[in-house]
Every structure is written in C-alpha cells, then in structure tokens.
Amino acid sequence: MEMRKILPAVAALIQSDDGNVLLQRRKDSNRWGLIGGHVEFGETVEEAMLREVFEETGCRSEVLRCIGVYSSPKSQQYEREDGIVQYVTLYFEVSLLNEPDLLFTCNETCELKFFEVTKLPDEMLKMDPNWIKDALNKEGTFFIR
C-alpha cells in the first residue's frame, strides 16, 4: 500500500535592507528557493524556522511574524519514492542577525544570493515565486492557502 503522510514544514521570507529576497540554490534540485524545511519531533515551528535558517545559511535569525500557511493539496502534495506527502507549511518573515556569507555551502545549499523581487531567477522551485508575491502583496495580513 502506498504511504500517505501529512508533514509540518516551515519557510522563510528573508529580505535585505533594500528589499531584495534571499534565496538558496538547493543541492537536491539545483533550483533556487526559499529557506525552509521540516519541523522535527519535539520542536516548535519557530524553533524549526530558526534551525533551518541556521543550517541553510549559517546565520542566526529571529522570526518577525507568521505570514500565512499553505496546506492546499493542489500545491502541497508531492510524490516521493515511498508514497505521497502533503505538507502544511507555515511561512514566516525572518530577520537575519548577521550578514550572510554568500559563499556559504552545506549539505542542502549550493549557493546563497539576494535577488530583486522583480528579477527572480527562472530556475525556481514551483511554488516559491507565488509565495514571495503573497508575502509582499499581503503584508501584515495572515492568510491561509
């Protein structure tokens, strides 16, 4: 029988002082995307967000606000080798407490780069451009999608 799971996840909108968005080129897909990942057993979503930012950028950070949540099966279901996963992703605005080293790499990150919101790269994860638009268009208003 095919496995079906719902998993909690987090994603971060991180902007520079001039409004550019920090993206990572991921090693698993070689695509650009927001910083984020799974919530681990025993941690809060805020702890997960801070951990993911540190793991994927090498930076300490603070959560400024929760922007919204994505849970729609249309956008949050993915086929994997062991079955289908549906993510429930909490999306946060996060501020870095130190300047990122754009040469930082780890087992998930090939490259870090700030992009102008109007000049996002073509090779992005499928939902991330929409998530950036959501955060900027709905500033201050929590949403559920």
From the CB of residue 134, how many other CB atoms can be counted at a distance below 10 Å?
19
* pTM for this predicted structure: 0.90
Strand intervals (E) in 2-144: 3-14, 21-26, 32-33, 35-38, 61-70, 77-80, 83-96, 109-115, 143-144
Per-residue pLDDT of the chain (145 residues; tens, 9 = 90+): 678 999 999 999 999 999 999 999 999 889 999 999 999 999 999 999 999 999 999 999 999 999 999 999 888 888 888 889 999 999 999 999 999 988 888 888 999 999 999 999 999 887 777 888 888 876 667 888 8
Q: Which fold has domain 3-144?
A: Nucleoside Triphosphate Pyrophosphohydrolase (3.90.79)
Half-sphere exposure of 100 (CA within 13 A, CB side): 27
Sequence ranges of the domains in the chain: 3-144
